[in-house]
Amino acid sequence: MSLKNKGPSRKARNIFRIDVQATHGWQVRIQRQNRSYTQFFSDKKYGSPTKAFEAALAYRDRLLQELPPPINPTARLRTPEVRRKAAEAINRSGVIGIGFSIKVTRQGVRRPYVQGYWTDADGRRRATSRSIEAHGLKGALELVCRKLYEVQGNRGLSIEEMMRRALPALEKLYQQTRTKR
């Protein structure tokens, strides 16, 4: 290891140099499962920046052996249960895959739509929407429910059950947008 005034010049994962006022040394910082592990190794206590770094390195290596491996933050989002819970958290219609939106035309006219969302066999997100003005709220919802039932097969709810669950929430959302006009 080479020294550059303060200690080793190489970078080591989870080890950081602290040089603030009278504080000089190396700090080890590791986080696992929302818990932090921190230890400071003073140049003064260990006799030199190099010896403090070596102590920090040994502590870090020992700690990494004892602790479980880090959780891949995106891996947990890939499970079907987590994706379902996330969808339920942002869902306002009561049925996953059915939503309500307002599209604004180039002329600035606001048009309400019932939307349907699903993931196809290749993992791509797909969508359909039907105009409430053209089909009425129940008609637009029925068309979207039929499409969802068609693409999801028997894995989801029946068309009638989707409509029964989604209609009250969509009526409320539609009324809210009509009062805002």
One pLDDT digit (tens) per residue for the chain, 181 residues: 444 444 465 678 999 999 999 999 999 999 987 789 999 999 999 999 999 999 999 999 999 999 988 877 666 666 777 766 766 666 778 888 898 988 888 898 889 999 998 888 888 889 999 999 999 999 999 999 999 999 887 667 889 999 999 999 899 988 888 776 5
Task: Using alpha carbons only, give the angle 93, 165, 104 rounded to the nearest 5 degrees.
Answer: 30
CA distance 98 to 96: 6
Question: Do residues 91 and 117 touch, judged by C-beta distance below 8 A?
Answer: no
CA distance 165 to 169: 8
State the DSSP H helix or E strand holding residue 167, giving kind and residue range, or none if neither.
helix 159-180
> Which residues, at least 6 apart from 108, have a Cβ–Cβ distance to it below 8 Å?
none
In this predicted structure, what is the pLDDT of residue 4? Answer: 45
Question: Do residues 110 and 104 touch, judged by C-beta distance below 8 A?
Answer: yes
Residues in a beta bridge with 128: 116
Q: What is the pTM of this model?
A: 0.53
In this predicted structure, what is the pLDDT of residue 87? Answer: 66
